[in-house]
Structure 1
């Protein structure tokens, strides 16, 4: 994929002249017009050309148009009546979206998007009737963000279907939908969605400018777009949320965030996003606040266990035996008596095997992948302990760390947890607890410097906002969450009346 970075804001934007091919007009003669379309599209095998008496030609691409609309609404009308001009033909067609175009490129662009091109011999104009029919899979439950309580429907690859799902949740004319085109070769449709009167205009303009300034050949998935418009594309931490749940998307939009949906992708982009929000699930809103708080604390605890438990083991056995309880030293020494490798090599070997099993299970078919993950883990783990390659205690720690990495509701953040464990283990093997602290400080400084659409990544902890800290880790009762998060800098801060008026006693 080729792309160019946007020009420097300090420099003036170069004045671009319209390419000459964009100004080519539609030919008068039908034969001439058909030949020009064949030349522009390289005469594909699925290009259908039909001629109707006395002087009308229909041109479209097979399987991109609705056959029923083509036969009933277009061909039937043209065969039963005679029309002399494109204007009278446009009025006669019983289709909602019919336009007249005088430019050849504009006509071809609409044709490859599912329109039928109608040309009347002798007129330098073409009628384009949009009767597009796009194949898409049926709506199903989200696969990566499953939940027990709540809606069981997720986005699919159709942009129009995803927009209709969102409008079922937000029945409000203030929901803004801006359609953009990205990719000089793919012409991918992208929708920018936000709530007028809630979303911050500066954030909306910033995201719109980042998308429109992209000069790329292709765009096939929303994850690619999210990486290209991130505040820091070199960071391993995601700054924008990818979600396949329309309820979570709509909840973020109503909080003042901005969303992006890419045609052909089942994942929607939500920004700005803070670090702690990657550990929050939409199901937290459907559970009682006590249970949801417990689950959130469990996820954050699992994050630290997954990242630091194995490095702590390596550092303790390599440099800091004094931190190990005396009652635990005997079984630990017996467990490592037959292991010929140092703790750092032992830990990296097991982590590598776990990642191999996880990747193999994800890439294989579902039934085979589950079998490989379970049987492979048991067989390899048991054989490794019996062969003296690793200790059973480290095997338990590695399995616990791998299990804890799956608790993150965001798949992107789960991948980050998998990756950053390896450098921390290496630092712990070379410098012990000092290496772990060095890694912790480096990660903390890196997170403090990050931003998401200009908003601080560690909000509400940096800069500190005491009132919002309680609702980031603790899921507060809904009556106490009347304010929208300050991360989005919303135009309207209140979701509802903070203090309901109590009825007077009679």
Structure 2
């Protein structure tokens, strides 16, 4: 499916041109300058205006600037400086980022980003000094992508901190970092990162164009951005990975993928992404290849059980008794003897209860949520069996399906697995195994039609790429994975020399 831009390009060009026409210049008069800033910012209550005799005026937003730097470096440095020009004041300030502007638009954009405006009466220039207050939570271990072996630090909501974490992993001048602005009201910083000489230029241009052409009022989180720039936003399957692990993000960049970080979000975007990569964990690279392969096969089997176990139970009891082993018919009939509902309604009811408990446990505080999940599951399950609402065998199948869905490393893909289980159960209740096969074929065809940044979603299985299959469901030893995946169309395909270093016998 081709990507469709959610805006009118002609209208956007006209809007930008009209903004350029409205740009004003800095007035040399103190009273007029203060009035122009107040009018442009709608005179907020936290807008501070200070006068330093004889002719200097400071304007800043109180909650955005660092008070200590303001007092130690700005106010004290400007005391007793009569007849100073903006150029000499800029040179005298001991602050890393100091600029001079003559445009009102740039000045207003700077003040809402934590700059202090220094205006000298009689000059149509203003000094912009960056003393923004950097507030962010401390670094902590990732909560949604935990692992035993490997780094135990995750991204936070600070853009500068996240960039710093990435540069600690990739100490190379080839790491490119482009800053883009998205959101008419939020003016959110969106950073596009990639490795020069490895990433595909075509993919870089495509992703850059999708981000810069967005016409949004606001951008709050990276999850919103990933859905907007997806190849197919209507599909329930995510085409871009959200991760909070810097090590996984950097490993993807080194494989030729592109990364996007949104200021204020603790989740980074990785693309392009194939379906099978949502079932992989970064910890797989830190384990021995046999253990990692076993873990991946276990996850893949768990997903199949989570999606199809309950529908197979419903289809077998409704239409296909002949597939049930004879030794299992007696306990199964005894279990369902007091149940007044058909299997499809019974399964949907239990799945709905499981989803209620899961959602309640996720939304409540941590300690209460754990109690609700454990106690609620035991009490409701036992009461439902004793009341004859459901059978204990189906309760085991539903609980096993719910448990299997938690093995998915990606939270977004886990939500999809929870969702598609319901229509498959309904089809199994109407048409039995034929309904299950119909649902499977529909999902497979849908996945075959999907793409991620133009790359095939079911790679490396369709189109078949045998070399990339070495690191898909199975993980071969590292000497067999020396090539970067074809999915990213890398400019440099070799990651390392697969030949082992031979010891010197001399």
In 1, the alpha carbon distance for the partners of 2:424 and 2:299 equals 20
List 4+ stretches of structure 1 deviating above 6 A: none
For 1:4 and 1:235, locate their aligned partners in 2 and report how far apart those are by CA, in whole Å: 16
Tell me how far apart the structure 2 counterparts of residues 352 and 187 of structure 1 sit (CA, whole Å).
Answer: 41
Q: 1:288 to 1:501 in 2, by over 3 A?
A: closer
2:292 aligns with 292
Work out the number of aligned pairs and report it. Answer: 502
Q: Equivalent residue for 1:402?
A: 402
In the other structure, the counterpart of 1:488 is 488
5+ residue gaps in structure 2? none
Contact 1:22 1:104 in 2 (8 A): no
Cα deviation, 1:110-161, whole Å, max 9, x if unaligned, reads 1100100000011111110011112110100000001111111000000000
| CA distance, structure 1, for counterparts of residue 83 and residue 348 of structure 2 | 77
Distance 1:190 1:158 in 2: 12
Residues 13 and 84 (structure 1 numbering): CA distance in 2 closer, same or farther, change over 3 Å? closer
Give deviations 1:414-445, integer Å, cap 9, x for gaps.
00000000000000000000000000000000
Q: Give the conservation status (yes or no) of the 8 Å contact 2:145–2:244.
A: yes
Task: Report the Cα distance in structure 1 between the residues aligned to 2:36 and 2:220, rounded to whole angstroms.
Answer: 29
TM-score by length of 1: 0.97
CA distance in 2, matches of 1:461, 1:181: 37
d(CA) in 1 for partners of 2:20, 2:137: 40
Give, in whole Å, the separation in 2 of the partners of 1:23 and 1:214. Answer: 22
TM-superposition CA deviations, 1:360-387 (whole Å, max 9, x none) = 0000000000000000000000000000
Residues 373 and 47 of structure 1: CA distance in aligned 2, closer, same or farther (over 3 Å): same
* Distance in 2 separating the partners of 1:199 and 1:22: 40
Q: 2:252 maps to what in 1?
A: 252
Query: Structure 1: how far apart are the matches of 2:455 and 2:317?
Result: 42
What is the rounded CA distance, in whole Å, between the counterparts of 1:95 and 1:284 in structure 2?
45
Structure 1 residues 22 and 171, CA, compared in 2 at 3 Å: closer, same or farther?
A: farther
TM-score by length of 2: 0.97
2:320 is aligned to: 320
Instruction: State the partner residue of 2:457.
Output: 457
- 5 Å matches for 1:155-174? 155-174=155-174
Change beyond 3 A, Cα 1:39–1:21: farther
In structure 2, the residue matched to 1:5 is 6
Q: 1:108 maps to which residue?
A: 108
Q: CA deviation at 1:322?
A: 0.2
Report if the CA contact (8 A) 1:276-1:473 is conserved.
yes
Which residue does 1:175 correspond to in 2? 175
Q: Counterpart in 2 of 1:502?
A: 502
Tell me, yes or no, if the aligned pair for 2:53 and 2:80 is still in contact at 8 Å.
no
Three-state SS of the structure 1 residue aligned to 2:406 is: helix
Contact 2:55 2:82 in 1 (8 A): no
Cα shift readout 1:319-349 (whole Å, capped 9, x = no counterpart)? 0000000000000000000000000000000
Report the alpha carbon displacement of residue 82 of structure 1 after superposing the two structures with TM: 3.5
Q: Deviations over 1:39-96 (max 9, x none)?
A: 1111111111111011000011112111222122211111153452111111111112
Alpha-carbon distance in structure 1 between the residues aligned to 2:424 and 2:338: 26
Shift of 1:6: 4.1
For 1:443 and 1:463, the matched residues in 2 are separated by 17
In 2, distance between residues paired with 1:469 and 1:479? Answer: 14
Cα offset, 1:490, TM superposition: 0.5
* Counterpart position of 2:306: 306
Matched, 1:474 2:470: no
Q: Does 1:375 align with 2:360?
A: no
Residue matched to 1:435: 435
- 1:422 corresponds in structure 2 to 422
Is residue 229 from structure 1 mapped to residue 232 from structure 2 by the alignment? Answer: no
Rounded Cα–Cα distance in structure 1 between residues aligned with 2:468 and 2:60: 56
| Residue equivalent to 1:208 | 208
Indicate the SS of the match to 1:193. Answer: strand
275 and 137 in structure 1: CA distance in 2 versus 1, 3 angstrom threshold: same
Structure 1: 5+ residue stretches without partners: none
Q: Give secondary structure in 1 for the equivalent of 2:472.
A: helix
Determine the C-alpha separation between the residues in 2 that align with 1:50 and 1:442.
Answer: 67
How far the C-alpha of 1:18 sits from its partner, in A, is 3.6
- Partners of 1:80 and 1:331 lie apart in 2 by 94
1:296 match: secondary structure: helix
